[in-house]
Amino acid sequence: MAITSIASQNKIRIAQQFSRAANTYNSAADVQLDIAFDAMAFLPSHYKTGLDIGCGTGRISQKLSTRCDNLIAMDLAFGMLEYAKQNTVLADPSISWLQGDADSLPLADNTVDMLFSSMVLQWSDNPLKVMSEISRVMTSGSNAILAIMCDGSFNQLNDSWLNIDSQRHVNNFASAQFWCDAAISQGLHVNMQEKQYVTWHQDIRMLLSSIKSIGANVVLKSSEPTDTAFSQSKNTFNRRTLQHLETYYQQKYAENMQLPLTYQVCFLHCSK
C-alpha cells in the first residue's frame, strides 16, 4: 500500500474541498474579491507574462489578463480550473489554465514577469519553499503581488472554539513578518502592508457556512486533516456544541446582533 505523507494528504483534502466549492465560490466570496482588488492596486500597468497562483474560479485572472500578453492561471484544485475554463466570459485566448502546486511551481526558472496571488499562500505547508519557488520563476526586474491571510485571522472563531474544547478547529496562520522574512530570505525586495477586513453574519451557522461555501473549511492537522465541526454537525452532540459556540460568540463578539469574522491580510509587494 502506498504511504502518503501528511502534507500530501492535506493537499489532496484542500484540492477536494475547493473543487467542491467551485460552484458556490463566487457568490460567497465577497471579501476575497475586495482583497484581490486591493492587491491589484499594486499591479504594474503592463507586463509580458503573468502568473496567477491559486486562480480559483478565474474571476481575477480575467482582469489580470487584460494587462499582459500571456497569463498563466494556476490552481491546485481541478474543479476550480474546470469552473474557470467554462465560465470565463471572453474565453480569453491569452489565458493558459494550469493545474499545479504553489509549493512546487511547474514552470521553468526566470519565466514570469508579474506574479499575482490572492488568498492562497496561507494554504502552503512551507512558506520558505513557496517563496523560493516564486523567486525562482520570476525574471530579473519583475514584481510579485501577494495577498496572504495571516496571524489574527478568524481570531473570534478560534477563541470561541477554545472555550468549547481543546481540539483544533481553526488553522494556524503565520505572521505577516514571517511571510515578509521568508520572501527576503529568498533574495526578494519586499514592501509590506497589513489590512484587516471584517465580515458580519447573522448566526454561527451562517458564519461557518461562509467559510464552507468558498471551500476553506479544511482544518489541517499534524495527523489527519478534518473538516470543521460545522460539516460534522449532523449529530446531536455537535448541534449542542454549536449552540455553546453560538452563545459564547454572541456574548463576547456580537455587535448589533451580528457576528464578526476577521480576515487579517498582509500584502507583499516583492521585486527581484
Q: What are phi and psi of 92, to 5 degrees?
A: -55, 120
Pairwise CA distance, residues 12 & 7, whole Å: 9
Residue corresponding to grid cell 466549492: 21
Q: Tell how strand 95-99 and strand 68-75 pair up.
A: parallel
Question: Residues 43, 71, 80, 245: which binds ligand SAM (CB under 6 A)?
Answer: 80
Q: Is 123 one of the binding residues for ligand SAM (CB under 6 A)?
A: yes
Pairwise CA distance, residues 191 & 179, whole Å: 11
HSE-CB at 164 with a 13 A cutoff on CA atoms is 24
DSSP per-residue string spanning 72-92: EEEES-HHHHHHHHHH-TT--
Binding-residue pattern over the window 5 to 34 for ligand SAM, x denoting contact by CB under 6 A: ---------x---x----------x--x--
User: Quick one: which segment of 118-126, 163-171, 177-185, 191-199 binds ligand SAM (CB under 6 A)?
Assistant: 118-126
Binding-residue pattern over the window 184 to 223 for ligand SAM, x denoting contact by CB under 6 A: ------------------------------x-x-------
Task: Provide the 3-class DSSP secondary structure of residue 121.
Answer: helix
61 Cβ neighbours under 8 A, 6+ residues apart: 52, 55, 71, 73, 84, 88, 95
Q: Is 132 one of the binding residues for ligand SAM (CB under 6 A)?
A: no
Which amino acid does the sequence have at 29? A
Q: Is 268 one of the binding residues for ligand SAM (CB under 6 A)?
A: no
Pick 245 or 261: Cβ nearer ligand SAM: 261
Q: Is 127 one of the binding residues for ligand SAM (CB under 6 A)?
A: no
Question: Residues 62, 101, 173, 186: which binds ligand SAM (CB under 6 A)?
Answer: 101
Q: Is 119 one of the binding residues for ligand SAM (CB under 6 A)?
A: yes
Q: Is 133 one of the binding residues for ligand SAM (CB under 6 A)?
A: no
Residues lying near ligand SAM in the complex (CB under 6 A): 14, 18, 29, 32, 36, 53-56, 60, 75-77, 80, 101-103, 118-120, 123-124, 214, 216
